[in-house]
């Protein structure tokens, strides 16, 4: 299954490590450091021209990490993945 992150960007749901709300997650120092390091390494892909609401951390089959910045809310992205349904059934 694939998840549309905005504009013309889609990722495989099997590659998603986490979907994070930008406002809540970036409060922590370690998260800000993670994002800064990812930016320095060229791992950040901005898929929005608008105010970012979410970042999605993915790891592909080769083990490479990508961080996607999206204008779509984390709640909407989670619903689209079906992850909420999986958690509710545990």
User: What is the tens place of the pLDDT at every residue in 5-24?
Assistant: 988 899 999 999 999 999 99
What's the pLDDT band for 57 if we cut at 50, 70, 90?
very high
Range of the domain at 62: 2-88
Q: Mean pLDDT over residues 63-90, rounded?
A: 79
Report the domain count for the chain. 1
CA–CA distances in Å: residue 63 to residues 12, 60, 66? 14, 5, 10
Query: Alpha helix (H) ranges present in 8-81?
Result: 22-25, 29-40, 74-81
The mean per-residue pLDDT over the stretch 55-76 comes to 94
Query: Average pLDDT of 83-89?
Result: 48
Does residue 65 have a pLDDT over 90? yes
3-state helix, strand, coil in the chain (%, to 5): 35, 35, 30
């Amino acid at each position: 299954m694939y998840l549309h992150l905005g504009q013309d960007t889609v990722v495989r749901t099997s590659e998603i490590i986490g979907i994070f709300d930008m406002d809540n997650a970036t409060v922590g120092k370690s998260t800000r450091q993670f994002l800064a390091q990812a930016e320095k390494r060229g791992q950040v892909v901005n898929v929005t021209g608008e105010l970012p609401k979410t970042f999605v951390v993915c790891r592909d089959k080769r083990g490479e990490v990508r961080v996607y910045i999206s204008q779509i809310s984390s709640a909407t992205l989670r619903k689209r993945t079906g992850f909420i349904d999986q958690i509710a059934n545990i």
